[in-house]
A and B are shown apart, each in its own frame.
Chain A
Amino acid sequence: MDALEARLTEAGPLLQQVRRAIATTLVGQEPVVEQVLWAMLAGGHVLLEGPPGLGKTLLVRTLSAVLGLKSSRIQFTPDLMPSDVTGSQTLALDASGRFGGQLELQRGPVFTELLLADEINRATPKTQSALLEAMQERAVTLAGTRHALPPLFFVLATQNPIEMEGTYPLPEAQLDRFLLKVTVPFPGEDELVAILERTTGPAQATSDTSATGAQVLALQALCRDIAVAEPVYRYAARLVAASHPDSATASPLVRRALRYGAGVRAAQALILAAKACAVIESRPHLAFADLQRVAAPVLRHRLVRSFEGEAEGLTVAAVIAELLEQVPTRPARVEQELARA
């Protein structure tokens, strides 16, 4: 058997095992878990958006436990300083217990493998920038020295869409650093009952470790090996291009509803997230359907609505749906032949 085939064969059960382990603690939210796994396999970061109390923190804790990763959490507040995130140098005590004039590096919570940045929009832009720089560079510079973050550095940031008072919404350029923006929906009735049963009893279930950090890194490598045909690349490019209001291929709705379209990072994110999809399905190649599945979480935080779009109540979700409907996957001549079949 081919090595790629073997790796795909092994990846399938492993990911199934991870999902089952998460499900023992986190009830429901399968789409959220799925999308978080896409981002983790693609090596990107996730912006979770949803009201408080929907298990975002629990998801991070469970993920850390299941994957055996070191995790930390930062509760973002307006008075949070960048050094509170990245760390700082402090005077070190000598052997006699006095400050000897030596500086000691105090690593911040960012030096971890799985970081939960809770309510990231409550911190000032300066602090947000410190985290976002670390996310992009996967390194932190303290006192002129660059410190690399762990290879499996994965950020799950949350923001509350309801309470906007005293918040600092993330600028579009910084939102672009997140691979996906995952919307956490309110659980259904059955899921809510299951949550109540598990959380109000004498003991809470815990998830066992199902994978290691090395295996996650191997899955990330496998994700990069997924084959992508040129028509699939073209489809991703057409999708992104059509999201620009100034583009010739933009639909009237896009022209009316959007001020800015998605950028190059969006196209990269589309392909990477779609590859993660293919890995989860143990498929060695990318399909148009993979791109269509990941389009919403990849694009929803990258499309900037225009004043007209906001006034008319045109949602980004509607624009993405329009893009998927209008942008053809195959050349016109192939579509014509398919119509004749």
Chain B
Amino acid sequence: MVAMPRVSATPDAQLETFREGFFSRFEALRARLRRRQLATTGLDAALLALVAGATGLALVELHASTPLRLAALGTAGVGACAYGVWTARRRRLTAVDAALYFDAQSDSGELLVSVLELETSATASSALPRRADQLLGKLERQPRLPKLWWKRHLTLAPLLALTLWLATRPLPPPGAHAAAQQARISAAGLKLDTLKRLSNLPAHDAEQAKRLRRLADAARQLEQQLQRGMERREAQHALASLSDGLREEHLELSSRDERQGREAAMAELEKSEATRALAKALGDGDLIELDQAMQQLSQRWEQESRKQALQALTAAEKAAREHGAARVADALGEQRRRTAALDALMDGLRAELGDKLPEALNPTPGSKGAADGAKLSEALSKAIEGLSPEQRRRLAKRLGEQLTAPGSNPGEASPRELAKMLEQLERPGGAKALGEQLRRFADSPSAQREKRLREAERELRQAERQLGLLPVPGPAAPGGGPGRDGRDGTPGSGSPGSGGGGGPKASGSSSPPLAANELRSRAPAAFDPRFPEADVSRGQAPATPGVQSQRPVQAPRGAKGNPGSLSGADDHSVPEEYRDQVGRYFAP
């Protein structure tokens, strides 16, 4: 082999034709590659548009607005188009890039790119185009373009269906509920005076006093916030918290864990004729009713009745404490001490006045006793005022000697205080102070607390109605129940029922007072303010299983409801074992 000559730099006509054919075929191949790229990009853009559109439409559902729907779809479409254009431009391949792509796919050792690059090279010869021509033929048959369909594109159809469904389904009505929830409310004239005075209540212990102060502070703060205006939801939450706090402060005499002690105390009280009413009040677990029954008992001036009552109360207190019912025992003990004090006072007065005592206490002929505790206090006060100074001194001395009662609760008017007041009766204003002291003495602190707590709850519910957070009761339905006060036959302030047999309730409604005797109860289950009304949302969490709720009850006329019972209906006729069993079944 001799030395080979260098190739000529001038391509011949055949080579030129060859090159032209090569370039046109290569451009066609490149166009196919570009079309495939655009198709894949289009599918990806469509996928993006559907995802964005469906998400946007789902968000628009919250606002329920057709223009927002169109805006969401438009934004998704424009965004997807922008993505498609951007991706298409980014993926655009130059001729050299395309040659590199096809070279890599065909494993040709960079033949195509060499041909393209050396188009005008002086060293170019027909060797490269000839080989490239064969390669192009192979690529035209099997171009090995980028994949068109990917797994992600399988979601196109479901996404399209979802987007169409979201776009065509009727919009829900404008979100009144959501708007109302987010609205602000304000009540400049709203007063929560009863709640604010809770800190002055006679507390059972220091912890309760602290809790009552906190409730009063919370009420004060809520009142100020409502005057400034606050979120409706926050107001609901604050009122619900106050309601929960009030509910926790009630003295619960009918709890399950004290049932046995309560039953034992009731048995002791039922032994005496004088204390049967007390037994019934204790059975109802109503502290106020118990206090009222006690006041009626105290008004009797038959010495024997009071002594029997004292004995029965002492036995009942002991029985309750022995059976572990501490709260019941405390309540009975408080009543016992008051009765003892009054008994001592009445005995002292009897010793001074003798047969004139009934006349001094009750100037109205034919009446057996004072109407209530307040009248009794007034009568006692007048009777004591009528005594001579000497008689008063003797009475005070006797009380001081006889009344060595055990320690009294804070706020309770002690017999020693009474004795001291009697001594001071001669001084100016002493009579007035004695009257006040006797009036305080008439009500037990626990009963006072219960009354004030119930008043506070009524005020709270009134505030909720005023703020529109509770449905306003409809027009008075026939058979609207009497108020609590009407049960004793005196005119009460019963409010109209809600029409659905909601039962009687003692609320601060503005309905005119009606005579209780003229009313008939359709669902006479006693209203207990410690439980919320049925079917009324108070902004609290939904009830949990086992939590007792008050439900509307259809009961026969005259039936009496027991707040402690499961259904609110009177269940005195149901055997105790069966009630206990059913109670355990529904217990959490």
Chain A residues proximal to chain B, CB less than 8 Å: 2-8, 10, 14, 211-212, 214-215, 217-218, 221-222, 225, 227-232, 283-290, 330-331, 333-334, 336-338, 340-341
* Contact status A5-B130, CB under 8 Å: yes
Q: Cβ of B116: which chain A residues have Cβ within 8 Å of it?
A: 229
- Report the bound CA distance from A287 to B133 in whole Å: 18
Question: Given the interface contacts A231-B96, A285-B114, A330-B104, does A2 sit within 8 Å of B127 by beta carbon?
Answer: yes
From B144-152, B203-211, B529-537, the one touching the partner chain is B144-152
* Contact partner, A337, options B37, B117, B123, B130, Cβ 8 Å: B37
Residue in B1, B6, B105 whose CB lies within 8 Å of A338: B105
Q: How far is the CA of A2 from the CA of B127 in the complex (A)?
A: 6
Asked if B88 is an interface residue, CB under 8 A from chain A, the answer is: no
Tell me the bound Cα distance from A7 to B127 in angstroms.
Answer: 11
| Docked complex Cα distance between A338 and B118 (Å) | 24
B5 at the interface (CB under 8 A from A): yes
Interface of A is mostly: helix
CB neighbours (8 Å) of B115 from chain A are: 285
CB neighbours (8 Å) of A215 from chain B are 1-3
The answer to whether B127 touches A4, judged by C-beta atoms less than 8 angstroms apart, is: yes
Q: How far is the CB of B532 from chain A (nearest CB, A)?
A: 64
Once the chains are docked, how many angstroms separate the CA of A8 from the CA of B125?
Answer: 12
- Interface flag for B234 (CB, 8 Å): no
A194 to B115, CA, bound (A): 45
Contacts of A8 in B (CB 8 A): 127
Pick from B4, B7, B93, B109: contact of A285, CB below 8 A: B109
A222 to B109 CA separation, bound complex (whole angstroms)? 19
CA distance A211 to B4 in the complex (A): 14
Task: For residue A277, give the distance in angstroms from its CB to the closest CB of chain B.
Answer: 10
Contact A227 B100 (CB under 8 A): no
Closest B residue to A287 by beta carbon equals: B109
Question: Does B111 belong to the interface (CB within 8 Å)?
Answer: yes
> Can you list 26 A-B pairs with a CB-CB distance of less than 8 A?
A2-B7, A4-B123, A4-B125, A215-B3, A218-B3, A218-B4, A222-B4, A227-B124, A231-B117, A232-B114, A284-B114, A285-B109, A285-B114, A286-B110, A287-B109, A287-B110, A289-B109, A290-B109, A330-B97, A333-B90, A333-B97, A334-B100, A336-B91, A337-B91, A337-B146, A340-B146
B131 sits at the interface (CB 8 A): yes
Give the nearest-CB partner of B2 in chain A.
A214
Which A residues are in CB contact (< 8 Å) with B29? none
Q: Pick the contact of B97 from A217, A287, A331 — CB < 8 Å?
A: A331
In the complex, what distance in Å separates the CA atom of A340 from the CA atom of B101?
11
Query: Across the interface, do A221 and B6 meet the contact criterion of CB distance under 8 Å?
Result: yes
**Which of A3, A225, A283, A340 contacts B109 (CB under 8 A)?**
A283
B30-64: contact bitstring with A at CB < 8 Å (1 yes, 0 no)? 00010001001000000000000000000000000
Q: How far is the CA of A149 from the CA of B105 in the complex (A)?
A: 47
Q: A157–B259 Cα gap in the complex (Å)?
A: 112
CB of A220 to closest CB in B, whole Å: 10
> Residues on B close to A: CB < 8 A?
1-8, 15, 33, 37, 40, 90-91, 93, 96-97, 100-101, 104-105, 109-111, 113-118, 121, 123-128, 130-131, 144-147
Question: Cβ of B114: which chain A residues have Cβ within 8 Å of it?
Answer: 227-229, 232, 284-286
Chain B residue at smallest Cβ distance from A211: B1
B123 and A285 contact, CB distance less than 8 A: no
Contacts of A331 on B, CB cut-off 8 Å?
97, 100
Q: Which residues of A contact B7 (CB under 8 A)?
A: 2-4, 7, 225
> By the criterion CB–CB under 8 Å, are B93 and A337 in contact?
yes
A217:B3 contact, CB within 8 angstroms:
yes
Task: Known contacts A229-B114, A283-B109, A289-B109; decide if A337 and B125 are in contact (CB<8 Å).
Answer: no
| Cα–Cα, bound, A10→B90 (Å) | 46
How distant is A341 from chain B, measured CB to nearest CB, in Å? Answer: 5
Residues of the A chain whose Cβ atoms lie less than 8 Å from the Cβ of B131: 284
Contacts A2-B126, A4-B125, A334-B101 given; does A227 touch B118 at CB 8 Å = yes
> Is there an interface contact between B1 and A284, defined as CB atoms closer than 8 Å?
no
Give CA–CA (A150, B121) in the complex, Å.
31
Known contacts A229-B118, A341-B147, A285 near B128 by CB under 8 Å: yes
Contacting residues, chain A, for B128 (C-beta < 8 A): 227, 284-285
Cβ of A330: which chain B residues have Cβ within 8 Å of it? 97, 100-101, 104
Shortest 4 CB-CB contacts between residues of A and residues of B: A287-B109, A285-B114, A229-B117, A340-B146
Taking a contact as CB atoms under 8 Å apart, the answer to whether A232 and B3 are in contact is no
Whether the Cβ atoms of A334 and B104 lie closer than 8 Å is: yes
B1 and A10 form a contact (CB under 8 A)? yes
Q: Which residues of B contact A218 (CB under 8 A)?
A: 1-4
Give CA–CA (A337, B15) in the complex, Å: 32
Task: Determine the chain B residues whose CB is within 8 A of the CB of A10 once the complex forms.
Answer: 1, 4
A32 to B147, CA, bound (A): 43
6 additional A-B pairs beyond A4-B123, A217-B3, A225-B7, beta carbons within 8 Å, are: A3-B5, A14-B1, A229-B96, A229-B113, A232-B114, A334-B100
Closest A residue by C-beta to B145: A341
Compute how far the CA of A92 lies from the CA of B93 in the bound complex, rounded to whole angstroms: 73
Residue of B nearest to A281 (CB): B109
Contact A333 B91 (CB under 8 A): yes
> In the complex where A4-B125, A287-B109, A341-B146 touch, is A334 in contact with B93 (Cβ < 8 A)?
yes
From B4, B113, B145, A7 is in contact (CB under 8 Å) with: B4
Q: Give the complex CA separation of A10 and B3 in angstroms.
A: 11
Identity of the chain A residue whose Cβ is nearest the Cβ of B110 in the assembled complex: A287
A338-B101 in contact (CB<8A): yes
A8→B121 CA distance, assembly (Å): 18
Q: Report the minimal beta-carbon distance from A212 to chain B, rounded to whole angstroms.
A: 8
Task: Give the distance to chain A from B154, nearest Cβ to Cβ, in Å.
Answer: 17
The residues of B that contact A225 with a CB separation of less than 8 Å are: 6-7, 123
Q: Are A231 and B113 in contact (CB under 8 A)?
A: yes
Report chain B residues within 8 Å CB of A334: 93, 97, 100-101, 104
Question: Nearest B residue to A225 by beta-carbon distance?
Answer: B123
Question: How distant is A52 from chain B, measured CB to nearest CB, in Å?
Answer: 36
A212 CA to B2 CA in the complex, in Å?
A: 9
Q: How far is the CA of A304 from the CA of B123 in the complex (A)?
A: 37
Are B96 and A230 interface neighbours, CB within 8 A?
Answer: yes
Bound complex: CA of A289 vs CA of B111, how far in Å?
12
Most A CB contacts (10 A, CB to CB) among B93, B100, B101, B126 go to B100
Complex: A287 Cα to B91 Cα, angstroms: 24
Q: In the complex, are the beta carbons of B8 and A3 less than 8 A apart?
A: yes
Q: Name the residue in B121, B127, B144 with the highest tally of chain A Cβ atoms < 10 Å from its Cβ.
A: B127
Cβ distance B133 to chain A, nearest Cβ, rounded Å: 13
Residues of A within 8 A of B100 (CB): 231, 330-331, 334
B145 to chain A: which residues have CB within 8 Å?
341
Closest Cβ of chain A to B31, distance in Å, is 15
A23 to B4 Cα, complex, angstroms: 26
Tell me which residues across on chain B come within 8 A of A230, comparing CB atoms. Answer: 96, 117
Which has the most chain A C-beta neighbours within 10 Å: B105, B110, B116, B117?
B110
- A8 to B131: give the CA distance in the assembly, Å: 13
A148 to B198, CA, bound (A): 120
Question: Are the CB atoms of A288 and B110 closer together than 8 Å?
Answer: yes
Which chain B residue shows the least CB distance to A331?
Answer: B97
| A228 contact set on B, CB distance < 8 A | 114
Contact status of A341 and B110, CB under 8 A, knowing A231-B100, A284-B131: no
Q: How far is the CB of A294 from chain B (nearest CB, A)?
A: 14
A286 to B115 Cα, complex, angstroms = 11
Task: Give, as a whole number of angstroms, the nearest-CB distance from A231 to chain B.
Answer: 6
CB distance A338 to B91 under 8 Å?
no
Q: Contact between B109 and A284 (Cβ–Cβ < 8 Å)?
A: no
Would you give the shortest CB distance from A189 to chain B, in whole angstroms? Answer: 35
Distance, CA A290 to CA B145, complexed state (A): 26
Assembly CA distance A330 to B93 (angstroms): 12
Closest chain-A Cβ to B104's Cβ sits at a distance in Å of 6
Residue numbers in A under 8 Å from B127 (CB-CB): 2, 4-5, 8, 284
* Nearest CB on A from B514, distance (A): 86
Closest to B103 in A: A287
A284 vs B129: C-alpha distance when bound (angstroms):
11
Tell me the smallest distance from the CB of A134 to a CB of chain B, in Å.
25
* A285 and B110 contact, Cβ closer than 8 Å, known pairs A225-B6, A333-B91, A334-B93: yes
